[in-house]
Amino acid sequence: MAFKFKGGVHPDYMKNPECPETVIPAPDQVVIPMAQHIGAPCKPLVQVGDIVKMGQKIGENPAPVSAPVHASVSGKVVAIEPRPHPLGDMIMAVVIENDHLDTPCNDLAPLTEEEMNDSETILARIREAGVVGLGGAMFPTAFKIRGGIGKVDKVIINGAECEPYLNGDHLTMLNYPEELLKGVELVRKASCVDKIYMGIEKNKQDAIDLLNGIIAKNNYPIEIVPENVKYPQGAEKMQVKAVTDREVKPGGLPAGVGANVVSTRTAYAIYQACYEGKPVIERIVTVGGSAMKGPVNALTRVGTPFGYLAEQCGGFVKTPRKIVLGGPMMGLCATSFEAPTVKGTAGVLYFTEEEDKMVPNPTCIRCGKCITVCPMNLEPVFMYMYYTKHDYDNMAKYHVTDCFECGSCSYNCPARMPLTHAFKTAKLMFQARAAKEKAKAEAAAAAAAAKEANN
Amino acid sequence: MAAEKKEKIILDVAYQPQVRTNRDTRSLMLDVIIALIPTLAVTIWQYGFHPLLVVLVSMASACFFEWGYRKLMKKDCRVGDLSALVTGMLLAMTLPTSVPVWLPVIGSFFAIVVVKQLYGGIGKNFLNPALAGRAFLLASYAGIMGRWQLPNAMKGIDAVSSATPLSYMYGDSALPAWLNMKSMFLGTIPGCIGELSALALLIGGIYLIARKVISWRIPVSFVGSVALVTLICGKAGYGHFEWMVDNVLAGGLLLGAFFMATDYVTSPVTLNGQLLFGCGCGLLTVLIRYFGGFPEGVSYAILIMNLCTWAIDKAFRRYPFGATKEDIAADKAERKAARGAAK
């Protein structure tokens, strides 16, 4: 029985799990950005002209918060240069000309049964295979799990998939239940806990039944927690609340209350890494939106450009206005058709004016609907007011920095105020101000030190 | 070919969320208008088409002033959000059934131009425009505003000059037999255009709550507090329960509780604040009815509470998800210390 959190919205779900998993042929050229995770970007390990195999490691950084990247096709490296990243910037990327042979690379051998009982070996493999949070956050999984060992007693596999459109987690549960649960077991062993929980929204009842059957058959120490269908059920803090009734402190991490959350697709990627020796080079991407003919659940190689992906999924029926990465509630926009999918791209939605409900000069009517839906118990109407006045003290008082940008307030706003946008900007303003003050303090300290030295 | 076509597409970029609910300001306002239709129907049934004309003139003039002011001030036109239409309609609802058709024009000028637009238009006014317009008319045209007609259902009964149930209840004479709970429930009573039938107002109010236009907090706490106080402090000659029910059904209480006090702009947005706001409205209503010069207290009670909205919202700050009891205690101590320092 899941615990409830306050607030939340019920957007139009638009989910199509009956849409089968469609394999998208690898493009002639893949673009693999060196930053597909939170943390230190990778440095390319290959040179222009090198021949690489599918799954070969092509970028790495020894920093602890990092994850290597691998070639998603076999072929020849034709360029190593900054290319458009899905989120806007030009980021160093390795461009590989596909030879369409998919010559496999055998650097990662499947782990043996004994190795799969050792937390350290599993974690090393998770890191080597470049597994990051595939729900979209792209936080290096090995670092997350390692940080929680000893502190964390409840590990949760996040199968809520509360974002509209997205079906990747649901399809993984339906199509690869055995493999997924083996992956979940690996997460449990890596985290050194006796029991692991899976939080799944009740709109995936077929998956819950299927998984429960297999769990009973194999006696896995896994408990499935059916959760209410409500956005943002899959947000890390809400997921922890739903399963354990613990509330992550403002500004804190789930590990602070002894919980860790790993997404479903990540658990499956861990299975692939350990049992098959396959790094993260492909994933299910839900392609949809009103510009497309219909939704496609596309098994896509990492590094597939968005333009090519749309063509392979049936092409456009209308001119797209936006490319949304991930779900529509928290997804950001891509700026270019040339930008490629990355590990965390759970969906690529091509939106037209149909989805766009912006109005010129939005004006708040103080209806308070933002307050009733905020899962963090914040008061967006006042936060926005103080944001427009650049009133940092009051913004802090109203906890702007605790907003995790789920978008519920903006979604529910009848006046179409850009609330989430404002809070995102406000958080950046706080960061910038903190950096400025730090620099000022350092300069003052340096000046004082210089004065001291002169005396 | 395909590549060339793609080059020409300019992509929009926006922060999340990329989808929005279908409910916008316009649809919320439209719901308020729909919710008032049963009430209007009862009025037409009892008083013919003159009240309807008053309502239409009021709505039209409110829209005209909204459009005219913004045009004159070279601001963008906001008539499309229907808020002026709602203000005009609510203003007409607070006028007696017999008012001349030019009266709502003056009222909506005051409501739209002075109360709403001079403070910045929708979302910025601090008083409920419709009620402020009514208060203005009541002060300026007391004679017209106190002239009541007999409803069609009561034509031919032996009543010399008709008065509203409230003026009987708070006057010297007892309620006449034809003004009973049933007539107040159905709306066969003298009164303002929008306050006749408790049944029609309840239907409208429940529609608004069901459509999530308003929350239950303000209406329930408003009506509840009036009921509680009148139940405790009865009047000689009336049974306790009868006095309470008469007080709830008579006058503009239900109209005020469902349609006026719930006005977004001038009521608190914090959830506990809304409860306090409703209770405040209820207590003030009873206070004015018991001790004030007018028998009717709803409109002034709401206007007074409108002025407290900001203070109420500030007092009921929420604590973020995950804040522990210690965090809340520490924050309260800090605020107390800040108040002490300010003194």
**According to the model, what pLDDT value does residue B321 have?**
87
Cβ-nearest to A331 among B18, B20, B320: B18
Domain of residue B60, residue span: 25-315
Using the Cβ of A393 and the Cβ atoms of chain B, whether some distance falls under 8 Å is answered with no
Residue B174: which CATH number? 1.10.3430
Which residues have C-beta within 8 Å of that of residue B11, sequence separation ≥ 6? A320, A321, A322, A323, A333, A334, A335, A336, A337
**Domain A115-276 fold:** Rossmann fold (3.40.50)
> Which pair of tokens denotes residue B32?
């308020």
Q: What radius of gyration, in Å, describes the C-alpha atoms of chain A?
A: 23
Cβ-nearest to A329 among B17, B23, B319: B17
Domain with CATH 3.40.50.11540 in chain A: 115-276
Distance CA A260, CA A123 (A): 15
Q: Are A57 and A68 in contact (CB under 8 A)?
A: yes
Q: pLDDT (tens digit, 9 = 90+) per residue, A81-118? A: 999 888 778 889 999 999 998 888 888 889 888 888 89
Using the Cβ of B1 and the Cβ atoms of chain A, whether some distance falls under 8 Å is answered with no
> Which pair of tokens denotes residue A423?
């809070």
Cβ-nearest to B9 among A320, A416, A420: A320
**According to the model, what pLDDT value does residue A186 have?**
94
**According to the model, what pLDDT value does residue B2 have?**
46
Is residue B88 in some structural domain? Answer: yes
Q: What's the mean pLDDT in B251-255? A: 92
Residue ranges in chain A whose pLDDT is less than 70: 1
Q: What rounded mean pLDDT belongs to chain B? A: 89
**According to the model, what pLDDT value does residue A1 have?**
65
In this structure, what DSSP letter does residue B157 have?
Answer: S
Q: Which of A162, A324, A366, A406 to mutate to probe the B interface, most B CBs <10 Å? A: A366
Name the band, by pLDDT with cuts 50, 70 and 90, for residue B160: low
CA closest to A424 among chain B residues: B15
Q: What's the mean pLDDT in B181-194? A: 90
* Strand order, beta sheet including A90-98: A29-33, A90-98, A75-84, A51-52
Distance CA A42, CA A61 (A): 5
Please judge whether A418 and B15 are an interchain contact, meaning their C-beta atoms are less than 8 angstroms apart. yes
Name the band, by pLDDT with cuts 50, 70 and 90, for residue B12: confident
Chain A residues with CB inside 8 Å of B331's CB? none
Cβ-nearest to A237 among B22, B321, B327: B321
Tell me the nearest-neighbour CA distance from B108 into chain A, angstroms: 20
| Distance from the first to the final alpha carbon of chain B | 74
Chain A residues with CB inside 8 Å of B28's CB? 367, 414
Please judge whether B324 and A365 are an interchain contact, meaning their C-beta atoms are less than 8 angstroms apart. no
Given a cut of 70, is residue B3 above it in pLDDT? no
> How many residues are given for chain A?
455
Q: Which of A6, A332, A367, A387 to mutate to probe the B interface, most B CBs <10 Å? A: A367
CA closest to B24 among chain A residues: A414
Pairing of strands A29-33, A90-98: antiparallel
A6 by Cβ neighbours in 10 Å (0-12 / 13-18 / 19+) ranks as middle
Given a cut of 70, is residue B161 above it in pLDDT? no
Q: Are A387 and A329 in contact (CB under 8 A)?
A: no
Using the Cβ of A12 and the Cβ atoms of chain B, whether some distance falls under 8 Å is answered with yes
Please judge whether A377 and B318 are an interchain contact, meaning their C-beta atoms are less than 8 angstroms apart. yes
Cβ-nearest to B15 among A351, A356, A424: A424
Q: How many domains does chain B have?
A: 1
Please judge whether A324 and B25 are an interchain contact, meaning their C-beta atoms are less than 8 angstroms apart. no
pTM for this predicted structure: 0.90
Chain B residues with CB inside 8 Å of A360's CB? 76
Q: What's the mean pLDDT in B252-279? A: 94
Spell B122-149 as b/e; 16+ CB within 10 A means b: bbebebbbbbbbbbbbbeebeeebeebb
Is residue B205 in some structural domain? Answer: yes
| Distance from the first to the final alpha carbon of chain A | 70
Name the band, by pLDDT with cuts 50, 70 and 90, for residue B292: confident
Tell me the nearest-neighbour CA distance from B75 into chain A, angstroms: 11
Chain A residues with CB inside 8 Å of B274's CB? 368
Name the band, by pLDDT with cuts 50, 70 and 90, for residue B4: very low
Q: Which of B9, B16, B81, B116 to mutate to probe the A interface, most A CBs <10 Å? A: B16
Using the Cβ of A277 and the Cβ atoms of chain B, whether some distance falls under 8 Å is answered with no
What ipTM was estimated for this complex? Answer: 0.89
Chain B residues with CB inside 8 Å of A336's CB? 11
Q: pLDDT (tens digit, 9 = 90+) per residue, B330-343? A: 878 887 888 787 76
Using the Cβ of B306 and the Cβ atoms of chain A, whether some distance falls under 8 Å is answered with no
Chain B residues with CB inside 8 Å of A356's CB? 12
Is residue B12 in some structural domain? Answer: no
Please judge whether A355 and B18 are an interchain contact, meaning their C-beta atoms are less than 8 angstroms apart. yes
